[in-house]
Amino acid sequence: MENLDGRIAVVTGASSGIGLGIAKELARHGVKVVMASQSADRLAAAAEEVRALGGTVLEVPTDVARKPEIERLAERTLDHFGAVHILVNNAGVYAPGYAWELDDDDWEWVVDVNYWGTVNGIRVFMPHLLEQDEAHVVNVSSAGGLMTAMCHGPYTSTKHAIVGLSKALRVEVGMKESKVGVTLVCPGGVATNIASQFDRSGPEGRPRGERPLPDEVKALWKAVDATVESGISSDEVGRMVHQAITENVFWVLPNAECYFPIFDQEFEEMKNAIRN
């Protein structure tokens, strides 16, 4: 999709962070953007940011974990703009802690948003994308979907799943001989406000709040927060995603090099296992 001017994009998790960065960058290139997020208030404020850039925006409060709400998002998009060409599955949450100590609500919340939110987006929007002369799907995973990520089992499990799902989706659209491109985004250190999300969201839309964590887990997440705070901007990720759509690039690894020592260690272990 070399020329995106006049195309219509749906971006989930668009009220902040990477989702907002992608929405802003697409709007700068003439894309009409449908912004979706669970919080109506935060979404309205984010939509005004995009409009201030001259963007054409429709905001639709949406809980991506619920398929009927994704279906309503698609209906609103088609009623308002008449088509959809780009789907960005970006909505994501996390819950830190030892995998066996996190409760059912935390596990179900993260899996429902991160995994089922992406699956719902693909299942609902893909039939419409396949009707277009050109279209594109962007799935946002994480560097934590490619390597060991300690003490957030639900998050890293779902992000690994998005990697596998995206690889399969790329092959499947090829089998259909369609002109739907697929991009998989695995960010490393990106400056977002995900670390403060517990004051804003949680299971059933209620703020999760802080929960007791062992000291070693607190120390780990303090280091993770430092990597996030010192990372590249969400706007830079938006520029990378725009380029990937126009050039039909599959892998996008924004600032993943901050985790390369861990990647290298795991790849060496894999090579040793194959040799043995």
Residue 12: what are its φ and ψ, rounded to 5°? -90, 160
DSSP 113: I
Separation in Å, CA 255 to CA 29, 109, 144, 147, 169: 23, 27, 13, 14, 24
Give counts: helices (H), strands (E), the chain. Answer: 9, 9
| Predicted pLDDT at 203 | 72
Whose CA is closest to 169, among 123, 134, 128, 114?
123
- What domains, with CATH codes, occur in the chain? 8-275 (3.40.50.720)
| Predicted pLDDT at 256 | 78
- Please name the residues in contact with 68: beta carbons below 8 A apart, sequence gap of 6 or more: none
Q: Please state the pTM of the whole predicted model.
A: 0.91
What is the side-by-side strand order in the sheet with 8-12? Answer: 57-61, 32-37, 8-12, 86-89, 135-140, 180-185, 251-252
DSSP 114: I
**Contact between residue 156 and residue 144 where contact means Cβ atoms under 8 Å apart:** yes
| Predicted pLDDT at 264 | 67
Query: Can you spell out the DSSP letters for 59-72?
Result: EEE--TTSHHHHHH
Q: Report the SS3 class of residue 183.
A: strand
Integer distance in angstroms from the first to the last C-alpha of the chain? Answer: 44
**Contact between residue 85 and residue 1 where contact means Cβ atoms under 8 Å apart:** yes
DSSP 152: B
| Predicted pLDDT at 276 | 65
pLDDT tens across the length of the chain (276 residues): 889 999 999 999 999 999 999 999 999 999 999 999 999 999 999 999 999 999 999 999 999 999 999 999 999 999 999 999 999 999 999 888 999 999 999 999 999 999 999 999 999 999 999 999 999 999 999 998 998 888 889 999 999 999 999 999 999 999 999 999 999 999 988 877 665 565 566 776 677 767 788 888 888 877 777 777 777 899 999 999 999 999 999 999 998 776 666 666 776 776 677 776
Tokens of 77: 């998009």
Catalytic (active-site) positions: 155
Separation in Å, CA 188 to CA 38, 149, 181: 24, 11, 23
Tokens of 55: 């963007």
| Predicted pLDDT at 192 | 77
| Predicted pLDDT at 196 | 57
Rounded to whole angstroms, the Cα distance separating 115 from 111 reads: 5
| Predicted pLDDT at 225 | 74
